[in-house]
Structures are given as structure tokens and as C-alpha cells.
Amino acid sequence: MPKALMSVYDKTGLVEFARGLIDLGWELLASGGTAKLLQKNNLQVTEVAEYTGSPEILGGRVKTLHPAIHGGILARNTQEDFDQLKSMGWSPIDLVVVNLYPFESTIAQPNVALADAIEQIDIGGVALIRAAAKNNDRVTLACDPQDYPSILQAFSDKAMNQALRNKLALKGFRLTSHYDQAIANYLEGSEVETLTLHPLQSLRYGENPHQSAVLLGYRHNDTPLGGQVLQGKELSYNNLLDLDAAWRAVVSFKKNSIVIVKHLSPCGMASADDQLTAYQAALASDPVSAFGGIIAANRTIEKNTAEAISDLFVECIIAPGFDPEALPVLAKKKNLRLIVMPNLEIEPKVEYRSITRGILRQDVDFGDKTQADWKVVTEIQPTAEQMSAMKFAWTACQHVKSNSIVFAQGESTVGIGGGQPNRVDCVRIAKQRAGDKSEGAVMASDAFFPFADSVEEAARFGIKAIVQPGGSIRDQESIDFCNSKGICMVFTGYRHFRH
């Protein structure tokens, strides 16, 4: 009769897994709370302490650290090893079901005490994982509850093989490696930071054909951006950059929104009560640049939106979902990549950027903590419509390369300028994109105006309201000019450079 050892902290799916093993003729050993859970569910199980003849000691710190357990796991598939176990009254263990104390979630809690963190360092579990993984020629390791169904199916079908055991062992070694590194990082504080990346996909090339490239992920076997690719050509290096930029931008808006990105630069952003209207407004912002771009939506893509998009050549569409009626419309464009995202979260909450001989890390800019600090600094007060448009433009400009300038009418961009060393040039570029739609529009700037020249240009183009961080020693010059031209100006107190 095959024997399974169970010793888990996370008991997700354990009862169902154990019941399935018993139905297949397995004998169960379990420690502490794991055994109690199985007994509570009327499953036949032998407690580890009964099997070893040694009680748990030190408040449960020592449970499975016993030769009867580790000998049963590490015994090779030889008669000599089996005879030695038998002579001591023990038997081989064929399956080890184990996971670890939640060290990382413990230290993620605010103000956690060192003693509490130390108590969540697993010893026995790590030893069990390493022993089972080392002896994977004979022993199967289950260290992830998500693997329980496939392991049970493999045993049921008599399809458990060396390739699968190898894969499960590798997962175990990855887990203990990551776990130990998390402990070391915590104890070392800010002295050392380790970033573990897993190769997910080789890319045809990088930004240009002569550059090699690969997609790396924070988790083994993850997917591009954590999403699911439904159709289309293989994603390229540049596709991934643009998809990330578009997704970060679109999820920053609360209403039904569309963002169109080309070469890492948003060329159209809009929010509306319905998706099609948002798409049409975003496209109208710069229809020329939208050709060959990336479209991001923060709602499921609807059929009428898909039909409108099908009239335009785009590389990719990223969204939290696609209506069943929309998929056949988009399937007609076989090269078009469709990516479904699992949620609207941006993860991780930090971002890295490589520089020569180093890496920069910073928190993700999720925008202003509050808009309650906004201050009208001109004699002219904004209308409700202008204030709504400025709030939209302010969010939009945070996703444009500095020096970022956004012209908006209502909740849609009409002109975007950015990525220039001179802010005045960005105002002019925004005007070039907007054309006559700059008349009566609002303008947002990601940083303050060191001189009044950008404001003077905006006035010449018909801008009627301006939102900016404020904080220049020459702020009063811009304020005075706005007052003289009947333009309202709002200071946010926050800067949003994006280099």
C-alpha cells in the first residue's frame, strides 16, 4: 500500500486530495493540525507522532524531523534500502504533501515584530520538500495545492512518471530557494536585495532585429503581463512595452475608458458612459498616430466597439475580457493579438529600470493621494465642466512622457505633447494635434511652469483652464497672466514626471 505524508500550513484542497488518495488505496500519515483536519472529516490517518513513537515537542517546532520520516522519504528504490527500513519497523514514503509557514505574508504586515517573523520561519517543511525533491526518482512532491488535482489524476490513471516527478521536484527547489532568500533579505534589511526572474518566452528580437531579447517574469510559468493571449501573432518586445504603457494608463481611469498607445506614447485617451463613445473620442484625438497602435480598455470589449476597431489597423488589444459576440469580429484579423487581463491591478507596486552597472527601483506612481488639496490660484474660478475636464486631463498627463502636456475637451484628449526637453515645444505639439479643438479646451502639465511662456502659448491657442503642480518661484507670473486673459488655473501640489 503506497504511503503519503501530509504536513501543511495552507490546507486549501487538502481534504478532497486526501479523500481521493484513500479511494485509490493510499495510506495517510499526517502531523499536528493536518491530522486533526483529516480526522475531523472522517478520513483514516495515522498521526506522525504515533508512527515515529516520538511526540511533537517544543510547542510543535519538532514534528517531522525524525529518521522514520526522512528515512522513508530518502530511501532509494533498492531492496537494500527497503530492507534497512523494514528492519527498523518503518516503510517507504511515496508522496510528500507539504507547504510552508507564511513567512512573506507575515513580514508584509506593518510593524511586525522580529520575534513574530522568526517564528514563521519553517524548518521541518523545508527539510521535507528538499528530501522529497532530491529523491524524485521514487518520491512525488506536492508543495502547491494547485497541483493536487493533476497529481491525483496521474495516480488514478497510473500515469505518474519521471518527467512529472522531476517537474514537481523543480517547483519544490524553486520554492525553498525563494523562501530562504526572502528570509535572508528580511534579516539583512536594506543591505541586500535579490530579484529573482524566470525566463518565460524568447522573443524574436528586441527593439530592433539585431538585438536579442527575452521576456522574464517574477513567477515561474507566468504569462505576458499576467494575462492570457487569445489570438494573433507572437508578441514582440515593442508590443509588450506598448501594452504595459496602455494598460497602466487605462486602469488609472474609473469610468469606461479607452487608451491608444503608439511607440510608448499615448495618442488618445477618453472616458465615457459607454465604451464605443470612449473609443471614438480616443481615436479622434490623433487618428493618424493610432494606425498600428495598441488599444487598451478597462471594461470588457463589446461587439460594437470591436466592429469599430476592425476598421483600423492595430497591433494589439488588451482588456479585462471580450464579449463572445466580439471575438468572431476580431478573429477576422488573424494577426491581431488579443490579451485578456485577470484584473485591473498593477503588479508589482514597484518598478525597476536598468542603468549602466546598476538598477533603479521606485514605487509605481498611482497618481495623487487625494484631489482635496487642489487649489484655485486665479481670480477666475473654473466651471464644473472645466473642473471635470481638468481632473481627466490631469490623470491623462501622468502617462505621457515628460514634459507632458495634455489638451482635453470634456473627458477626452484632443491634443497630446510630450517627450521634449522644452515644455513650450510640448504645448505647441499638443496644439498641432488638437487643431481647432484647442479652442475652449483645458490643459494639464505634469510639472510646474518655470516661466510664463507655456501659459502664454496656451492662451494663444484658446485654452481656458490650466491644471499644474505649482511650486515655481515664478508662479505669480503665470497666475497674473492667466488673470489678465480670463483663464483659470489650479495647483495640485503633486508632480508627475515620466522619463
DSSP per-residue string spanning 51-110:
HHS---BGGGTBSS-SHHHHHHHH--SSHHHHHHHHHTT-----EEEE----HHHHHTST
Residues 147-168 have a mean pLDDT of: 89
**Which three cell numbers, joined as nine digits, stand for 14?**
487538502
Residue from 178, 233, 263, 485 carrying the catalytic annotation: 263
Q: Around 103, how many Cα atoms within 13 Å sit in the side-chain half-sphere?
A: 24
pLDDT at 32: 83
The chain-wide mean pLDDT, for the chain, equals: 92
pLDDT at 190: 58
- Mention the CATH class of domain 227-364: alpha beta
Q: What is the CATH T-level fold of the domain 3-191, as seen in this structure?
A: Rossmann fold (3.40.50)
Rounded percentage of the chain residues whose pLDDT exceeds 70: 99
pLDDT score of 19 more than 80: yes
Q: Do domains 227-364 and 375-491 have the same CATH topology?
A: yes
Q: What is the DSSP letter of 441?
A: -
Residues 251-258 have a mean pLDDT of: 96
pLDDT at 493: 93
70 part of the active site = no
pLDDT at 191: 58
Q: Please count the other Cβ atoms lying within 10 Å of the Cβ belonging to residue 200.
A: 17
Residues 134-163 have a mean pLDDT of: 90
pLDDT top residue among 59 and 436: 436
Q: Domain residues of the chain, as ranges?
A: 3-191, 227-364, 375-491
Residues 177 and 198: their CA atoms lie apart, in Å, by 13
Helix ranges (DSSP H) in 120-197: 124-134, 148-156, 162-188
At CA 332, angle to CA 326 and CA 335, rounded to 5? 110
**Backbone phi, then psi, for 87, in 5-degree steps?**
-65, -20
134 part of the active site = yes
Residues 60 and 499: their CA atoms lie apart, in Å, by 53
pTM: 0.73
Residue from 11, 134, 233, 485 carrying the catalytic annotation: 134
- Relative to beta strand 140-142, strand 265-272 is unpaired
pLDDT, tens digit, 9 for 90 and up, residues 427-478? 999 999 999 999 999 999 999 999 999 999 999 999 999 999 999 999 999 9
pLDDT, tens digit, 9 for 90 and up, residues 62-111? 777 788 888 889 888 888 888 887 887 888 999 999 999 888 888 888 88
Predicted confidence band of residue 1 (pLDDT cuts 50, 70, 90): confident
pLDDT at 320: 97
Task: Return the minimum-mean-pLDDT range out of 29-33, 106-110, 302-306.
Answer: 106-110
Indicate the CATH number of 375-491 among 3.60.10.10, 3.40.50.800, 3.40.50.720, 3.40.140.20: 3.40.140.20
pLDDT score of 60 more than 70: no
pLDDT, tens digit, 9 for 90 and up, residues 219-237? 877 899 999 999 999 999 9
Task: Return the minimum-mean-pLDDT range out of 82-96, 201-215, 321-335.
Answer: 82-96
pLDDT at 103: 84
